[in-house]
């Protein structure tokens, strides 16, 4: 494989990518998905990466771990740094400087917005942001883009509807920004108090992406090519009664087989970053338009692609 523009670069934000980058990543992802296992596992044989997860997330951590391992690489998996002794009052900067001595790349998940950039600033080795607070989660956005392309062929011309807690879901923030590279129409369905933040809407205005907001799920479905459901972030209570009530009200947005049958197009897909709670009923799983399990699997191959592009193999 040819050397990538991402060689030894940090992956910090969805906004760092051009459309041409996305095409390169997509091409590499497909190549790795088709590659025989015996060949694939030789690509990162000399490599050790560290999954440094301050906020535990077995799901994202395991996706990177699996990607590295199918490529023959090695992983030091540290989940829940706060509960381990890494902390002992140490700064994030000192911690990443330590772990870059033990590995060739750090995958960082952190609670604070901006943590990935702070870490990258003091590191000599590349860093992949696996989610920092309400900030970025670029690999999720990349796998979402890849999934839409794989499922529907082309992103230009699509109507994409995002549903649920749009205020705090970093997944939909990153995806909305990344979609501004394409010619799409966006629709945001949420209770008022969990609406898409002004910052994202300003970004979309500046990039001339048409979007509309709605408070009704049912009314938003019939012309959607992609319905992107999100989970109410149960694990981060606001402490504010009005907000918590609104979160409760986000639970009204539930997609089930009956609603799909009544409203949705034949050729469209339902996505979800997972884990899900009640927002997608189990009876949707058998519908071929339910793309979320394929989306998870795409995440594995996207991460393989990024690891080989950043760590370089040819």
Give the binding site for its own copies (CB under 8 A): 37-38, 41, 45-46, 48, 50, 55-59, 62-63, 65-66, 69-70, 74, 76-81, 83-86, 88-90, 94-95, 97-99, 101-103, 231, 234-235, 274-277, 293, 296-297, 299-300
Find, among 301, 35, 294, the residue nearest to 148 by Cα: 294
Considering beta carbons, is residue 4 or 95 the nearer one to its own copies? Answer: 95
Considering beta carbons, is residue 95 or 161 the nearer one to its own copies? Answer: 95
Considering beta carbons, is residue 259 or 296 the nearer one to its own copies? Answer: 296
Least Cβ distance, residue 148 to its own copies (angstroms): 18
Alpha helical stretches, state H, the chain: 19-34, 37-40, 58-70, 92-99, 115-122, 138-152, 170-179, 198-206, 241-250, 257-263, 292-311
Count of CB atoms within 10 A of residue 66's CB?
15
Least Cβ distance, residue 74 to its own copies (angstroms): 4
Least Cβ distance, residue 159 to its own copies (angstroms): 27
* Residue 133 backbone dihedrals phi, psi, to 5 degrees: 55, -130
Alpha helical stretches, state H, 71-185: 92-99, 115-122, 138-152, 170-179
Find, among 196, 187, 203, the residue nearest to 167 by Cα: 196
Spatial distance between the Cα atoms of 115 and 135, rounded to a whole number of angstroms: 9
Least Cβ distance, residue 267 to its own copies (angstroms): 24
Considering beta carbons, is residue 71 or 184 the nearer one to its own copies? Answer: 71
Considering beta carbons, is residue 37 or 266 the nearer one to its own copies? Answer: 37
Least Cβ distance, residue 56 to its own copies (angstroms): 5
């Amino acid at each position: 494989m040819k050397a990538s523009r991402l060689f030894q670069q940090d992956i910090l934000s969805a906004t760092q990518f051009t459309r041409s980058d996305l095409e390169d990543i997509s091409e590499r992802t497909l190549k790795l998905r088709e590659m025989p296992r015996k060949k694939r596992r030789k690509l990162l044989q000399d490599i050790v990466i560290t999954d440094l997860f301050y906020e535990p997330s077995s799901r994202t951590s395991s996706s990177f771990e699996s990607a590295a391992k199918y490529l023959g690489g090695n992983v030091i998996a540290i989940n829940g740094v706060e509960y381990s002794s890494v902390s002992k009052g140490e700064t994030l900067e000192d911690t990443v400087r330590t772990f870059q001595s033990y590995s060739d790349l750090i995958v960082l998940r952190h609670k604070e917005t901006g943590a990935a950039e702070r870490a990258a600033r003091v590191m000599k080795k590349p860093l992949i942001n696996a989610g920092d607070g309400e900030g970025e989660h670029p690999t999720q956005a990349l796998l979402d883009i890849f999934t839409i392309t794989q499922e529907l062929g082309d992103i230009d011309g699509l109507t994409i509807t995002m549903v649920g807690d749009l205020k705090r879901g970093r997944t939909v923030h990153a995806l909305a920004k990344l979609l501004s590279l394409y010619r799409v129409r966006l629709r945001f369905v949420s209770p008022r108090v969990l609406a898409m933040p002004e910052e994202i809407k300003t970004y979309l205005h500046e990039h001339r992406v048409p979007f509309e907001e709605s408070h009704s799920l049912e009314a938003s479905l019939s012309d959607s090519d992609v319905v992107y459901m999100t989970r109410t972030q149960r694990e981060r209570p606001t402490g504010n009664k009005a907000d918590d009530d609104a979160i409760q009200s986000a639970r009204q947005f539930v997609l089930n087989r009956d609603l799909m049958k009544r409203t949705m197009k034949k050729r469209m897909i339902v996505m979800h970053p997972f884990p899900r709670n009640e927002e997608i009923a189990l009876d949707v799983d058998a519908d071929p338009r339910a793309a979320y399990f394929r989306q998870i699997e795409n995440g594995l191959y996207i991460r393989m692609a990024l690891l080989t592009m950043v760590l370089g193999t040819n």
